[in-house]
Amino acid sequence: MTAAPLLLQILRRPETSKSLDLADWDLLLRQARRANLLATLHALLEERGHIEQVPSRPREHLGWAHAIAERHAQAVDWEIAQIRKALAKANVPLILLKGAAYVAARLPPARGRLFSDVDILVPKGSLDVVEAALTLHGWATTHHDEYDQRYYRTWMHELPPMQHVKRMTVIDVHHAILPETAALRPDPEKLRTAAQSLASHADVKVLAPIDMVLHSAAHLFHEGELDNGLRDLVDIHCLLAHFGGLPSFWPDLVRRAKELELTRPLFYALRYTERMLHAAIPPDAMEAAGSGRPHRQILALMDQLYTRAFLPNHPSCRDRLAGMSRRMLYLRANWLRMPPLLLARHLFHKAFISPDLA
């Protein structure tokens, strides 16, 4: 059996880092950097009390990553404050998603997590008001092509990304968690209704714990570009470990997945956090989540694709099928995003008419 990449070994058992020599540390840091998990690795080793045993040179590298992550978290807090200020008079409930939510709620996935934009969820009927308020405070749309605007505003679950003209920070304004044209249509009203206010700011909310896990799963398993795939899987692992002790969390998670039509993403999330990171999933929860299990042959294919695509995109982690696996998952993500005819039209436009579309 082929040994797991070093980064996976340490994420599973941080205590084994004590046996690494300098050559191992060099490889580990390279893999972690490619997976965007360098600061997360520092946080994990520090949390488990192993950081002081790391040799000085790799510990110095990890320390720099930690410092950058700390500054990043402070910047995210400040950016959230600016968004609150911009939307203060819009009378629109502000719900943070993903990385910004983890930082604002001080949740475990925030430790060391680096991300490029702030994601928010607002009612679809408030998009015009929100866009106008953000524009008034310095954000501007980044996609000016007519087709790009139509792509986002008609078919997607978000406005075109908006970038602040001075700070160059980016905000993604969502009205749902999956595209309008996707086969799965989790009701955003149910997500907004269950959202919970932050203890620090009553006017800012994050998704309820089980919805946060399900959103993370839905996002990851509809994502076509998996450069941050392992980081996002680590997010889910951290959320499951953090919320897993709440009363009725596991039964409610499966029940809610059925209610939101997200049983398939949940099944994949539990399967691959267990396989890749050795997450402790209760057997009865795994069995209940089996309602989202695909056909046996499809599952065998998904196993081959995801267990390659989730590995760091580093030469030491790639085999001859890694590139093909990523390309097939990219095609799968587009297939899930749009019905066939619309997808064909979109890919034709993207390939020959507007190739710069994100």
Count CA atoms within 13 Å of residue 11 on its CB side: 31
pTM over 0.85: yes
In terms of pLDDT, which residue wins out, 351 or 154?
154
CA dist 322 and 46 (Å) reads: 32
**Quick check: 302 and 294 in contact, CB under 8 A?**
yes
314-321 own/partner pairs: CB under 8 Å, 24+ apart: 314/5, 314/30, 314/31, 314/34, 314/35, 316/5, 316/6, 316/27, 316/30, 316/31, 317/5, 317/7, 317/31
Count CA atoms within 13 Å of residue 192 on its CB side: 16
pLDDT digits (tens, 9 = 90+) for 244-259: 999 899 999 999 999 9
CA dist 252 and 207 (Å) reads: 14
Q: For position 348, what pLDDT does the model report?
A: 81
- The CA-CA-CA angle for residues 17, 21, 24, to 5°, reads 75
Residues 6+ positions from 283 with CB-CB distance below 8 Å = none
- Give the pLDDT band of residue 340 (cuts 50, 70, 90): confident
**Quick check: 266 and 285 in contact, CB under 8 A?**
no
**Quick check: 81 and 96 in contact, CB under 8 A?**
no
Residues 6+ positions from 339 with CB-CB distance below 8 Å = 181
- The CA-CA-CA angle for residues 90, 125, 172, to 5°, reads 75
Decide if pLDDT at 1 tops 60: no
Q: For position 341, what pLDDT does the model report?
A: 85
pLDDT digits (tens, 9 = 90+) for 264-309: 999 999 999 999 999 999 999 999 999 999 999 999 999 999 999 9
Count CA atoms within 13 Å of residue 301 on its CB side: 11
CA dist 188 and 123 (Å) reads: 8
Decide if pLDDT at 358 tops 60: no
Exposure pattern of 32-47 as b/e (b: 16+ CB <10 Å)?
bbbbbbbbbbbbbbbe
Question: What letter represents residue 56's amino acid?
Answer: S
CA dist 284 and 263 (Å) reads: 15
CA dist 245 and 250 (Å) reads: 9
